[in-house]
Amino acid sequence: MVDAATVARGGLLVMRFVVFGLSLGLTVISFQAYRKRPSERLQYAFLGFAFLSMGVAISSVITQLGAGASELTRIFLQAGGALPLIIGFSMLYLSLYQ
């Protein structure tokens, strides 16, 4: 019999793949828009989505790697995962602000 924690972990894994797939899809669409009509705004949008995709991937990996690590190590890993998200949202802000 499968316990609830195993099912929950499987569901969480599927949700993480969906989030990563959606972020990658947005990155591809923004890159295609940039290639079709190059502009600084679309370039910033593409880079923003690329960094957000990277942040999503890194955060998922860090969650797995940090499971057995010390508290301080987990904090540093999570800070490293937040950095691409900060850069990505900053790039999106620049693309919308201009």
Per-residue model confidence as pLDDT tens digits over 23-44: 999 999 999 999 999 999 999 9
First-last CA distance in the chain:
56
pLDDT on residue 81: 87
**Which helix (H) or strand (E) segment is 1 a member of?**
none
Domain regions of the chain by residue span: 4-97
Please report, to the nearest 10 degrees, the dihedral formed by the alpha carbons of residues 78, 54, 49, 35 taken in order: 160
Is there a contact between 64 and 9 (Cβ–Cβ < 8 Å)?
Answer: no
pLDDT at 68 over 80: no
How far is residue 44's CA from residue 30's CA, in Å, rounded to a whole number?
10
d(CA 52, CA 28): 12
Altogether, the residues listed in the chain come to a count of: 98
The pTM assigned to this predicted structure is 0.85
Reported as a pLDDT band with limits 50, 70 and 90, residue 5 is confident
